[in-house]
């Protein structure tokens, strides 16, 4: 990670963009997580697929790992680390937003990012966005689709990473 190829110059703009990415993840994730049907956490699309609860727990792991990357700079999982198993849906949703808040707090802190923003995005943050998309697809398969939205109109604000998000501007089926 110490190579200059992996360490673009850090600036306030880079931090702001990274925080906006986290707010986007909170917005999109919140939309998919809100109003999930009873039993959705254990829904299986197929015999060998992960459940939404397992995916959401994994997103929590990714976000907590990301905060460690920002503070510690280690690109590997800790040797003593174990994935957190799924809890009930509400607990896992709360963990998602708490982990996003901790990560956002780490990014906005005054100390240098120990892992560059581009590496955070290409690794765990883009992985979390992919998994939010999987949850959206599973919602549709479970008979509870999430409305599509014209995302460029969405009110997404850097630092707004909690469950309270702005209402959708333009949704469609």
What is the enclosing helix (H) or strand (E) of 148? strand 148-149
Residue 61 has pLDDT above 90, yes or no: yes
pLDDT above 90: residue 4: no
Alpha carbon separation from 150 to 12, 116, 131, 147 (Å, rounded): 28, 30, 20, 10
**Which tens digit of pLDDT belongs to each residue from 73-86?**
865 656 667 889 99
Q: Domain extents for the chain? A: 11-172
Pick the CATH number of 11-172 from 1.10.10.60, 1.20.120.450, 1.10.10.10, 2.30.110.10: 1.20.120.450
**Percent of residues, the chain, with pLDDT higher than 90:** 81
How many residues are given for the chain?
173
Q: Find the range with the poorest average confidence among 7-11, 40-44, 158-162.
A: 7-11
């Amino acid at each position: 990670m110490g190579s200059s190829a992996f360490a673009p110059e850090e600036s306030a703009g880079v931090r702001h963009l990274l925080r906006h990415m986290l707010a986007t993840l909170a917005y999109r994730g919140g939309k998919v997580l809100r109003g999930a049907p009873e039993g959705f956490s254990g829904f299986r699309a197929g015999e060998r697929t992960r459940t939404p609860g397992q995916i959401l727990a994994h997103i929590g792991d990714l976000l907590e790992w990301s905060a460690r990357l920002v503070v510690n700079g280690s690109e590997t999982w800790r040797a003593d680390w174990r994935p957190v198993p799924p809890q009930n849906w509400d607990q896992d949703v709360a963990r998602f937003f708490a982990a996003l808040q901790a990560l956002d707090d780490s990014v906005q802190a005054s100390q240098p990012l120990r892992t560059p923003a581009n590496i955070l995005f290409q690794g765990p943050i883009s992985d979390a966005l992919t998994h939010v998309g999987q949850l959206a697809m599973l919602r549709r398969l479970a008979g509870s689709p999430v409305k599509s939205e014209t995302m460029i109109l969405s009110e997404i604000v850097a630092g707004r990473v909690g469950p309270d998000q702005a209402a959708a501007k333009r949704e469609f089926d």
